[in-house]
Amino acid sequence: MSPLSQMAETLIGSEIVKLGNAINERIRQGETIYNFTIGDFNPKIFPIPAELEKAIHAAYEKGYTNYPAAEGNLALRQAVGKFIQDREGLAFSPDEIQIASGGRPLIYALFRVLVDKGDKVIYGVPSWNNNHYVHLTQGEHCLIPCTPENDFMPSPADIRAQIKDAALVCLCTPQNPTGTTLSAAALKEIGEIILAENQRRGPAAKQCYLMFDQMYWTLTFGETVHADPIGLNPAMKAYTIYIDGISKVFAATGVRVGWALGPAHVMAKMKAILSHLGAWAPMAEQIAVAEYLGQTQAIDRYLLSFKQAIALRLNGFYDGIMALKAQGHAVDAIAPQAAIYLTVKFDLVGLKTADGLLLADQAAVTDFILREAKVAIVPFSAFGAGKDSPWYRLSVGTAVAEDMPKVMANLAQALGQLKK
């Protein structure tokens, strides 16, 4: 076949989707696999709020099937502004809010607005899709390898070392894939670093912005508290763009309503790009979400039960992994902090299976866990980490609580056969 564009020829598809498709094919062939790869929800376990579903049906019945406003319906932008003001204490006017069909088009549009070819983009690894968006915009990858000692988050020192002439810093907290959070102290210092860099450049030069992905910010557990850059440093409002929406907070990944919050001139350019893409959230869903966001008590009730169910699964798997560790197996986990993900470690390279097969690399370990334990999880290499990283993302959005003992028994049996 004739060559396509250089960008297309070098583009890497979603590793997670590819892995998920392969696992689903095995399931269709009749194999029993516990699939914790996709950052999604099983609607039978985690349905969207009943009030939201009712409002969506009503909006379609009333004939709301035409184009929405390119920036998002005014009623929804006003509702989002009030929701964020009430819940986070942040003030955004309607012209500082952009609606789209989920977070992905908003992130892509933001990259297009801020990143020119060769511009530096700073992001930590593992992290979700930053590497692909940098590729799509032909930016310069300034990646920061993150460690469990720092909850897999980039430190202020890491950011400071790369900040000179950078166009964009990407942070996600709570983070996909790790389910960990950035501390308020670290986030405040990162904001100060960005402000100092912009002051060094002067107002006439291209400025450095912060993309702050807080899609999971309501899903925190235990003593974890979500921090945000403007709340910590109001001067960061001129340089921060929040990415947010209903996908995770209301288990509504397929409903496709997301929003960005940021400087009006940035939102205006994002609107122009999204207008060409047509990546609008559907009219009926916008009408429904605007109505639902005002139902404070209903939202509180939903979040209470929703978070309890997620925490049950995260803590159950964490306790199970730590019990295996206590038995001497080369596994580990980070205690649940937020989101729907548990970070787990399978440090099995160099061990042999019962039939003498050597687990020579991490890919072999991943295959062993799938083959012998029937457990599918995503290696951090799918999120930009090195191929030899022993860490994995376990997503609980599709986890059946009654299956958890069987999952842990399968893992115990598989690990028990390994030897040096």
The tens digit of pLDDT for each residue in 149-166 reads 999 999 999 999 999 999
The token duo for 399 is 């986890």
What is the rounded CA–CA span in Å between residue 309 and residue 137?
39
What is the rounded CA–CA span in Å between residue 67 and residue 283?
6
* Structure confidence at residue 72 (pLDDT): 98
What is the rounded CA–CA span in Å between residue 92 and residue 84?
8
Domains present along the chain, CATH in parentheses: 6-46+300-415 (3.90.1150.10), 67-294 (3.40.640.10)
Residue 368 CB contacts under 8 Å (≥ 6 apart), including other chains: 348, 353, 359, 414
* DSSP structure class, residue 169: E
- In this predicted structure, the answer to whether residue 15 has a pLDDT above a threshold of 90 is no
* Structure confidence at residue 34 (pLDDT): 95
What is the rounded CA–CA span in Å between residue 101 and residue 67?
13
Which residues pair with residue 143 across a beta bridge? 123
The token duo for 202 is 């002067």
**pLDDT tens, position by position, 108-143:** 999 999 999 999 999 999 999 999 999 999 999 999
What is the rounded CA–CA span in Å between residue 361 and residue 35?
22
**pLDDT tens, position by position, 261-285:** 999 999 999 999 999 999 999 999 9
- In this predicted structure, the answer to whether residue 358 has a pLDDT above a threshold of 80 is yes
What is the rounded CA–CA span in Å between residue 211 and residue 167?
10
Which residues pair with residue 141 across a beta bridge? 121
Which residues pair with residue 340 across a beta bridge? none
Question: What are the φ and ψ backbone dihedral angles of 203, each rounded to 5 degrees?
Answer: -65, -20
Confidence of residue 91 (pLDDT cuts 50, 70, 90): very high
127 within 8 A of 172, measured Cβ to Cβ: yes
- In this predicted structure, the answer to whether residue 66 has a pLDDT above a threshold of 90 is yes
Average pLDDT over residues 315-340: 98
* Structure confidence at residue 313 (pLDDT): 98
The percent of residues in the chain predicted with pLDDT above 70, rounded, is 100
* Structure confidence at residue 28 (pLDDT): 86
- In this predicted structure, the answer to whether residue 22 has a pLDDT above a threshold of 80 is no
* Structure confidence at residue 379 (pLDDT): 95
* Structure confidence at residue 18 (pLDDT): 75
pTM over 0.85: yes
What is the rounded CA–CA span in Å between residue 157 and residue 408?
39
- In this predicted structure, the answer to whether residue 25 has a pLDDT above a threshold of 90 is no
**Residues 359-364: contacts with CB under 8 Å, at least 24 apart:** 359/418, 361/387, 361/388, 362/387, 362/388, 362/389, 362/390, 363/387
89 within 8 A of 231, measured Cβ to Cβ: yes
* Structure confidence at residue 4 (pLDDT): 92
* DSSP structure class, residue 365: H
